[in-house]
Amino acid sequence: MQKPTLRLILGDQLNHQHSWYQQKDQNIFYVLMEIRQETNYVNHHIQKIIAFFTAMRAFAEDLRTQGHRVIYLKLDDEKNTQSLTNNLDNLIQELDIEIFEYQQPDEYRLSEQLKDFAQKSGCDTEHFMISPTDFSDFFKGKKTFLMENFYRMMRKKYGILMDGSEPLTGQWNYDADNRKKLPNNHRPIEPITFDKDVSQIYNLVQKQEIKTIGRINPKAFIWATTRTESLALLDFFVENCLENFGTYEDAMHPSYWSIYHSRLSFSMNVKLISPLEIIEKSVKFWEENQDKISISQIEGFARQIIGWREYMRGIYWTKMPDYENLNYFNHERKLPNWFWNGQTKMNCLKHSVGQSLDFAYAHHIQRLMIIGNFSLLAGIHPDQVDEWYLGVYIDAIQWVEITNTRGMSQYADGGIVGSKPYVASANYIDKMSHYCGTCFYDKSKKTGFKACPFNSLYWDFYDRHADKLSKNPRIGMAYVTWNKMQPSQKAEILKQAEIYLNDIENL
């Protein structure tokens, strides 16, 4: 029998397959806690808090059913001090604990807090496919952190879609075949939802007066919060969405909020399901259904999970804590208030922000090329952008939120994650979406009445940051076009941008 041991399980460490649970020992106490320290470090979407607490409660119940000893501190438990370390101190005293163990947190903030508390590092969460040390070894001595090289290494390392050391079909990247707009008469599949009554937890959060954002129907909560539901979500994805995943991964539409996306990010980020099992299942399904699923679909999906997701985590651990203060363009503007209610005349933003508030979800291109693009063009302070993204999305945990937001989308890291800023005018948005057709603004106008704000803000951004961007070989063409414009036209565009930025609350 082990000495009395306390093992901490954080809200995003719900890994049923962790080796901890292979051993059953009545001297090992597992603790999970709902604490204000976590509900309050940022203003979260109500669905995000409910998803975490629902998943944690189900996980605790499952461990108990398997015969483990579990302590679960609910938000309103009278013993709950609402602080992680104070609760741990009390439990250690109360239960005469001799050994304290924890799994390495994914967030820098919690990692530091627990390192101070325990005076040692935590054990592995047994979830990710590459360790932070192996990640930095891979990039040691290299000038840039090129995702494509990392992704190819991961494909080789795990033998995913490989024929020996070569890609299965002779080609690593199918991006060129993907990324199409939804055809006009195309109706994507209705997403599977789980429609659970979460009123009890919802009422608790309300009663405790936790400040939240966004909307919820607590009688029919849509998200997967158990392993069984997460596996059902994965089955639904491979059977119904994979065949169109790559083709429409960048498409946007005002009537469809998830198109063919998997919506597995929450389940994966809280570790109810592992990236490797998702990839193995998807690849197997593709192998058995090659008559209807092309290689470009499965390659596109694998790239997101074994490529981007693992890459972002590696960048986070290589670059924190400095990363969270980077502001390459010295942007200072405040986020407009309509980010919290979706009330803007810009149709693309109305729908992308609106669905983020309705579902705590937007897909990658809505996050990057609509909301992030606008924030960058408008020169919003990256702290404000980060805070909004970290709060609003169901899957937002700092390691994957900040690298995507501050890095990929705001280029506030000066080019660690991306080789150029992701900015675009209405031309791109119209090419990939059905937003512009019914917009108040005119996508084809740069200046004047109803001119699309993206058009003038786009040139204003390049003009403002010419000192930092004009020498970037990947952007050169934009400056050639800008410099060819007549000075009077340039002045008109910059004036239009100024008018819009001064009236940002009413756009």
Ligand X SMILES: Cc1cc2nc3c(=O)[nH]c(=O)nc-3n(C[C@H](O)[C@H](O)[C@H](O)COP(=O)(O)OP(=O)(O)OC[C@H]3O[C@@H](n4cnc5c(N)ncnc54)[C@H](O)[C@@H]3O)c2cc1C
Q: Which listed range, 15-23, 144-152, 434-442, 466-474, lies at the site for ligand SF4 (CB under 6 A)? A: 434-442
367 counts as binding ligand X under rule CB under 6 A: yes
The answer to whether the CB of 328 falls within 8 A of the CB of 313 is no
Q: Which listed range, 6-14, 32-40, 391-399, 492-500, lies at the site for ligand X (CB under 6 A)? A: 391-399
336 counts as binding ligand X under rule CB under 6 A: no
x/- contact string, 293-322, with ligand X (CB under 6 A)? -----------xx--xx--x----------
346 counts as binding ligand SF4 under rule CB under 6 A: yes
State the first-to-last Cα distance of the chain, in angstroms, to the nearest integer.
66
DSSP-derived secondary structure for 148-193? HHHHHHHHHHHTTTEETTEETTS-S--GGG---PPPTT--PPPPP-
Which CB, 28 or 439, lies closer to ligand SF4? 439
Least spacing, CB of residue 90 vs ligand X, in Å: 32
Give Cα separations from 413 to 146, 371, 403, 467 (angstroms): 14, 18, 9, 16
Tokens of 144: 């840039």
Among 7, 196, 443, 465, indicate the residue that binds ligand SF4 (CB under 6 A). 443
Q: How many residues bind ligand X (CB under 6 A)?
A: 27
DSSP alpha helices (H): ranges in 247-381?
A: 265-269, 275-288, 295-302, 310-319, 347-359, 364-365, 373-377
Least spacing, CB of residue 441 vs ligand SF4, in Å: 4
Other beta carbons within 10 angstroms of residue 339's beta carbon come to 22
Among 8, 251, 264, 429, indicate the residue that binds ligand X (CB under 6 A). 264
Tokens of 256: 């469809």
Residue 308 interface partner, choices ligand X, ligand SF4, none, CB cut-off 5-8 Å depending on type: ligand X
Calpha distance 303→247 (Å, rounded): 14
Which CB, 91 or 394, lies closer to ligand X? 394
Non-local (6+) Cβ contacts of 213 within 8 A are: 43, 44, 45, 46, 340, 357, 391, 392
Comparing CA positions, the residue from 246, 237, 233, 236 lying closest to residue 273 is: 233
426 counts as binding ligand SF4 under rule CB under 6 A: yes
Tokens of 62: 């499952």
| Element housing 33 (H / E) | strand 28-33
454 counts as binding ligand SF4 under rule CB under 6 A: yes
Least spacing, CB of residue 201 vs ligand SF4, in Å: 36
Comparing CA positions, the residue from 375, 369, 488 lying closest to residue 430 is: 369
504 counts as binding ligand SF4 under rule CB under 6 A: no
Which CB, 160 or 305, lies closer to ligand X? 305
Other beta carbons within 10 angstroms of residue 153's beta carbon come to 16
Among 365, 371, 385, 452, indicate the residue that binds ligand SF4 (CB under 6 A). 452
Among 122, 336, 372, 418, indicate the residue that binds ligand X (CB under 6 A). 372
Q: Which listed range, 89-97, 187-195, 207-215, 399-407, lies at the site for ligand X (CB under 6 A)? A: 399-407
Calpha distance 22→408 (Å, rounded): 39
Which CB, 34 or 430, lies closer to ligand SF4? 430
268 counts as binding ligand X under rule CB under 6 A: yes
Which CB, 254 or 391, lies closer to ligand SF4? 254
* CB hemisphere CA count around 138 (13 angstroms): 22
Which CB, 28 or 272, lies closer to ligand X? 272
Residue 312 interface partner, choices ligand X, ligand SF4, none, CB cut-off 5-8 Å depending on type: ligand X
399 counts as binding ligand X under rule CB under 6 A: no
Among 198, 241, 439, 475, indicate the residue that binds ligand SF4 (CB under 6 A). 439
x/- contact string, 207-246, with ligand X (CB under 6 A)? ----------------------------------------
Calpha distance 494→500 (Å, rounded): 10
Torsion of CA 198, 200, 205, 208, to 10 degrees: 180
- Please name the residue that has the structure tokens 């609106």: 354
Residue numbers at the binding site for ligand SF4 (CB under 6 A): 346-348, 426, 429-430, 435-436, 439, 441, 443, 452-454
Q: Which residues bind ligand X (CB under 6 A)?
A: 261-265, 268-269, 304-305, 308-309, 312, 363-364, 367-368, 372, 389, 393, 395-396, 400-401, 404-405, 408-409
